[in-house]
């Protein structure tokens, strides 16, 4: 099954690249196709080196060590570190987003430069073993290099949309179908790119669920977590993702309101399908994860201390919602 999923991802990426080149050719012939690929390479290089910092800044993520006096965060830190060791991964940077919607994601170009993020809503809603299940899923994304794959697909999808706009405004000339062809490219190419991007995302979610269950040694905590958070996420709109929907695929459950199931335009598989797939792994035989016993101490690489934490250390009362 992992080989099949990786093959499917490769084929979908190839389809995305071919679509990109095809749109470039229709817009400007061979020259247009070459320019398109140069632009794609430039965008991908930029995304490769900066995707994690861009996403973390967009969501105003804070290092989890800033919340070290919160027991739920202490457990989150300790268990994530232990799960990373269990998965054979370098310790990721661990962040928190102060947001009511229960959700989580991973980002970074490779396991050595990765970060995991949980919202305060997720930590408040779930039991400790369920949070561990979610983090095992996110660490599986890092281990499977999904964070890089999804960055590349999102970048190419955005570039296809840009090229399609060029087709609309500059046209392809009479020999390439004229105005009707340009309109078709402008409207259909971005849709096709989105469909491929979402197909890759759904395939990666199933694989991360399976790998996450293997890291945890038990699929049930992740299944329970998915059941709890999927419906709640739809009722608590995430304004940042609603404004930039190309980031929706990163989250463990769909952060966009009103989208359900394995439909053509859904970034995530239906939750019930994921739960059933997870529960079919019950009794996989691996030793179940045991939560870390001691509260972790802050690490230098967890980031700088936020102003409200500094204020608390000076004896002032914090105004933070987790103070």
Catalytic residues: 138
For strands 62-63 and 104-108, give the pairing.
Answer: unpaired
Q: What single string gives the DSSP state of each residue in 29-61?
A: HHHHHHHHHHHHHHHHHHHHHHHHHHHHHHTT-
Query: Strand, coil or helix: what is 284?
Result: coil
Token pair, residue 289, equals 């994860």
> What is the signed CA dihedral for 106, 145, 51, 10, rounded to 10 degrees?
-130
* Rounded Cα distance, 31 and 85, in Å: 49
For strands 93-97 and 62-63, give the pairing.
Answer: antiparallel
* Rounded Cα distance, 59 and 103, in Å: 12
For strands 62-63 and 114-119, give the pairing.
Answer: unpaired
Q: How many other CB atoms are there within 10 angstroms of residue 14's CB atom? A: 11
> What is the signed CA dihedral for 227, 232, 238, 242, rounded to 10 degrees?
70
The kind and range of the H/E element at 323 are none
The kind and range of the H/E element at 127 are none
Largest Cα span, the chain: 74
Token pair, residue 196, equals 């491929």
């Amino acid at each position: 099954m992992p080989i099949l999923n990786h093959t499917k991802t490769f084929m979908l990426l190839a389809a995305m690249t071919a679509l990109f080149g095809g749109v470039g050719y229709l817009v400007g012939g061979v020259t247009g196709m070459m320019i398109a690929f140069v632009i794609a390479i430039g965008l991908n290089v930029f995304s490769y080196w900066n995707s994690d910092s861009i996403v973390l800044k967009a969501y105003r993520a804070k290092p989890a060590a800033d919340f070290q006096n919160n027991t739920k965060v202490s457990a989150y830190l300790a268990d994530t570190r232990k799960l990373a060791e269990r998965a054979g991964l370098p310790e990721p940077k661990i962040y928190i987003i102060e947001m009511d919607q229960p959700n989580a994601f991973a980002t970074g170009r490779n396991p050595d430069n990765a970060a995991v993020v949980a919202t305060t809503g997720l930590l408040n809603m779930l039991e400790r073993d369920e949070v561990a299940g979610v983090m095992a899923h996110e660490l599986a994304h890092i281990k499977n290099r999904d964070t890089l794959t999804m960055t590349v697909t999102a970048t190419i999808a955005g570039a296809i949309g840009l090229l399609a706009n060029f087709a609309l405004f500059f046209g392809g000339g009479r020999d390439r179908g004229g105005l009707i062809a340009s309109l078709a490219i402008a409207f259909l190419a971005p849709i096709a790119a989105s469909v491929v991007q979402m197909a890759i995302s759904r395939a990666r979610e199933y694989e991360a669920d399976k790998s996450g269950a293997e890291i945890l040694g038990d699929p049930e905590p992740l299944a329970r977590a998915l059941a709890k958070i999927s419906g709640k996420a739809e009722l608590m709109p995430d304004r940042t993702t609603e404004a930039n929907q190309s980031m929706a695929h990163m989250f463990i459950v769909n952060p966009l309101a009103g989208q359900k199931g394995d439909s053509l335009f859904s970034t995530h598989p239906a939750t019930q399908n994921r739960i059933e797939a997870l529960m079919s792994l019950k009794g996989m035989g691996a030793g179940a994860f045991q939560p870390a016993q001691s509260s972790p101490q802050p690490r230098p690489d967890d980031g700088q201390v936020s102003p409200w934490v500094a204020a608390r250390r000076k004896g002032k009362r914090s105004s933070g919602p987790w103070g």
